[in-house]
Chains A and B, each alone.
Chain A
Amino acid sequence: MRTPKPGIEVVQTLCRMCDDHCGINVHLDGGSIVDIDGYAAHPWNKGRICVKGRAAIDMVYAPDRILKPMKKTEKGWQEIDLAQALDEIAGKLRAIMEKDGDRAVGIWKGEAIGFAQQEDLARRFCHALGTPNYFSNDSECYVGRYIGYSLVMGALPVPDYANSDCIVLWGANPPYAHPNMTRAIMEARQKGAKLIVIDPRLSAIARRADYYLPLKPGTDGVLALGIIKLLIENNWYDKDFVEQFSIGFEKLARYTRQLTFEFVADETGISRELLEKVATMIARRAPRVVNYAGNGLEHHENGVNNVRAVACLDGLLGSLDHQGGNLLPEGAGLRNLTLYDEIPLQHLGPIGADKYPVLYDFRQECHTMTAMDTILSGEPYPLRAMIITAANPAMTNPNSRKVVKALEHLDLLVVRDLFMTETAALADYFLPAASFLERSELHEHRIYQIINLTRKILSYPSCQDEYQFWHDLAHRLGAGDYFPWKNETELNRWLLEPTGISLETLKAHPGGYRYGPIRYGKWREKPLATPSQKFEFVSAYLKGKGYPELPEYRSPAYLADRDEKYPYTLITGARKLLYYHSRNRNFPRFRKAVPGPEIEIHPSDAEELGIASGEPVRVTSKIGSLDIPASVVETSEIVPGFFQITHGWKEANVNLITPDAANDPISGFPLLKAIPVRIEKL
């Protein structure tokens, strides 16, 4: 920490410029933030942060931040008094619900301002109001992995990098997506751990891999099955665990037996020799092996089953809940804010729950892609109003043109955000939100079993925190009983009550308060949270819903069903250092560093197409076309035939050409990382 200058006050909280939640020092001069750096006593980041974290200053004090509520009128945006805006919004919601039922209202949570309670408050409000229609960014990020792992082991495990001897990253690039994992991985490597990176792109983390496997996108499942086949054939698996604590091993063994190594190599582009080296390395180091699946696995038509295949490795390697493996998380035991037990609303037909029942069963998420069709068609029932808090689906959901059309079609769109995002621009009301530095929430870091209380460091009069907003709206709509707390501090106190930990204790522990010891092998005493209470290589639950019971592999469409009109394959959504989805593009400093969108092209494809770096190209999918400058990368940086565009740029929004109907049948996740396209030089 920088030695504070006289007169500078330093307070600790957690960063929320990305999902890493680093401990930070906020340096204040007369109440204004003058600097942000890493808090040394937080075990997650140990005093280090990324440059995005410091740029929270850019965000809080951005000249284009909107601090006043606004209403769209014929003359454009007009400032409006907050209470007046809430009255009007409540009135319009009431009219819509009276005519078309409570379920005509949807709530949508995003990632820009808060932690877990931001989500749970939105969920609570939905059910307090009487609508099952809770939406979020999670229906295209994270939940695909959550479902895949939960089907197999009843939870999404946390990786114990620090104690690992072998780390296998599947479609994950921690330096840009979860920066602090990088340090943990490098420290493990320093102690002798091996690193294996599986990714069609030579990502930042792949530069340090002992083995880098440049596989074709969407084929992770068959690669994992190939490893499983080798583990079984060579007797390199944990027989005790398999016999006592799992179901379906025989079926999985039979399934992998009929898969040939030739098929695995053809599909993935990874040679049998390399596959054997990797499998041997993993087996030799079991059980201290972390297999970590990133977002790269979710955005495929066979995403969940590919994740399941990777998850199965934990049951074979004995790494499940083993030190240095994948740990089953234990929470602090906070109270639950959601109302799914008190007010179940599944009978009202949550949007998408019929098509993607697993998504609803596991996460009570409605399906955002289906929501767009519902809004436009009124089928199966009208969805007429939406409150979006800190999400920007007009930029981040697939098929943006349809998203914009749908959001414009709503009778009422309310957006809470810090900036006039592409989504906010479509709203009827803009409500300024409190940033993460303007509110106080509880956050668990389950890898360390610690809980933090984030601090409200400053505030603006009309920028409500999440609790206050839902509270005020609920009270206007006759649902106030569900929001009885005076403010978010009282809410935090109530949430904490069953844990026996006080708010004061948390305040005294800015580096996090340890709520319990880290325990290994918990499944020995406590059954897994799966239907059989065992590790499920096969899922009777999935079978019952008409899905394959095994983590079967399906070849991606671009391989199995090649359309000559679209000879290339587009990957989207690779993370870039400074940006968090569609955020931060309005900070001039960031633009200087990473100025704009580009399409990454392999040199051999560039030659074939006659394209040089900087030249514009046209990318066409079945959904539409996009013009974007080329960036010819080095030969090892991407697999030939594959191209990459990062999302979130309004200058060239890649979601204008991503499909919203080629979804994973289990999770409903969109196909964003293997889209058949045509590429032309302009």
Chain B
Amino acid sequence: MKIVSMDPEKCVGCRNCEYACSFIHSDDFDRKEARIRVSVFPNERVCLPLTCVHCSEPFCMEVCPSGAIEKDDVTGAITIDPNRCVGCKMCILACPFGHIYFNAREQVSQKCDLCSGEPNCVKFCISGALQFIEIEEAYQSNRDQFVTKLKTMLEKKSFEGEAK
């Protein structure tokens, strides 16, 4: 199964993903309509893109009293059927990542649906912080990245010594 992986080391907080998501879901560039959210903390120079990781055993699906949340057989996406959602917000409380939010206009909970298997946030991510990859690949790249990080950390030491 493929997920949207998020790498804060690459995110520049440009918000292309938010607008692309809003566009596909609401035909507009309205951040309020975006399922993905990027939090930018300029002073700390931190950018955090956050979207649904489509858990294998999702709490939201478990607590939904109206059976509105389902796992898509093909894409593996956890989706909310707006026609069955009663707006009780239980899923919002249950999600450990705080991903689900309430659309007050429509009176339903909303979340990422992986755009039927071709997530727009990824297609419009110009930094490469978002990737649509197999979960196994995500693990592997994390491992590689850790090695690179360690390498540059160690390298930096000898290098700053040299500067003196």
List residues of chain A with CB under 8 Å of any chain B CB.
Answer: 2-3, 37-38, 47-51, 54, 175-176, 179-180, 182-183, 186-187, 189-192, 194, 202, 204-209, 212, 276-277, 280-281, 284, 577-578, 589-590, 592-593, 633-637
Contact = CB atoms under 8 A, between A and B. Distances in A.
B43 A634 contact: yes
A2 B118 contact: yes
Contact of B23 (A38, A51, A175, A281): A51
Contacts of A51: 16, 19-20, 23, 29, 124
A577 B15 contact: yes
B118 to A, nearest CB: 6
22 contacts: A37-B123, A48-B128, A50-B124, A51-B20, A51-B124, A54-B20, A182-B14, A186-B12, A186-B127, A186-B128, A186-B129, A190-B10, A207-B13, A208-B45, A281-B159, A578-B19, A589-B28, A592-B30, A633-B42, A634-B43, A635-B43, A636-B45
B137 interface: no
A280 B123 CA distance: 38
The 9 A-B pairs with the shortest beta carbon distances in the complex, nearest first, are A593-B29, A280-B163, A179-B126, A186-B10, A204-B12, A183-B128, A589-B29, A175-B14, A634-B42
B85 to A, nearest CB: 26
A206 B14 CA distance: 12
Contacts of B124: 38, 48-51, 54
Nearest to B122: A48
Nearest to A2: B118
Nearest to A205: B12
Contact of B162 (A54, A212, A284): A284
B48 to A, nearest CB: 11
Contact of A207 (B16, B45, B123): B45
Interface in B23-59: 23, 28-31, 40, 42-43, 45-47
Contacts of A578: 19, 29
Given A175-B127, A281-B159, A207 B148 contact: no
A587 to B, nearest CB: 9
Contacts of B14: 50, 175-176, 179, 182, 204, 577
A49 B128 CA distance: 11
Q: How large is the interface on B (under 10, 10 to 19, 20 to 34, 35 or more residues)?
A: 35 or more
A207 B19 contact: no
B2 to A, nearest CB: 15
B63 interface: no
Given A190-B145, A204-B13, A589-B29, A636 B42 contact: yes
Contacts of A37: 123
Contacts of B145: 190
Contacts of A636: 42-43, 45
Contact of B148 (A47, A49, A50, A190): A190
A223 B53 CA distance: 45
A277 B30 CA distance: 42
A38 B128 CA distance: 13
A50 B16 contact: yes
B151 interface: yes
Contacts of A182: 12, 14, 126-128
B160 A280 contact: yes
Contacts of A592: 28-30
Residue of B23, B42, B46, B125 with most chain A CB atoms under a 10 A cut-off: B42
Given A190-B10, A284-B162, A207 B47 contact: yes
B152 interface: yes
A637 B41 CA distance: 10
Contacts of B62: none
Residue of B12, B126, B160 with most chain A CB atoms under a 10 A cut-off: B126
A179 B124 CA distance: 10
A207 B15 CA distance: 14
Given A589-B28, A590-B29, A636-B42, A183 B126 contact: yes
Contacts of A48: 122-126, 128
B13 A280 contact: no
B104 to A, nearest CB: 18
A54 B30 CA distance: 15
Contacts of B129: 186
Interface in B96-142: 118, 122-129
B9 interface: yes
A458 to B, nearest CB: 22
Nearest to A230: B163
Contacts of B163: 276-277, 280
Nearest to A37: B123
Contacts of B10: 186, 189-190, 208
B120 to A, nearest CB: 8
Contacts of A207: 12-13, 40, 42, 45-47
Contacts of B123: 37-38, 47-49
Contacts of A192: 148, 151-152, 155
A175 B28 CA distance: 21
A176 B15 CA distance: 11
B118 A191 contact: no
A543 B29 CA distance: 53
Nearest to A45: B126
A284 B159 contact: yes
A3 B42 contact: no
A636 B40 CA distance: 13
A176 B9 CA distance: 18
A382 to B, nearest CB: 47
A190 B9 contact: yes
A457 to B, nearest CB: 20
Nearest to B46: A207
A503 to B, nearest CB: 30
Contacts of A186: 9-10, 12, 127-129
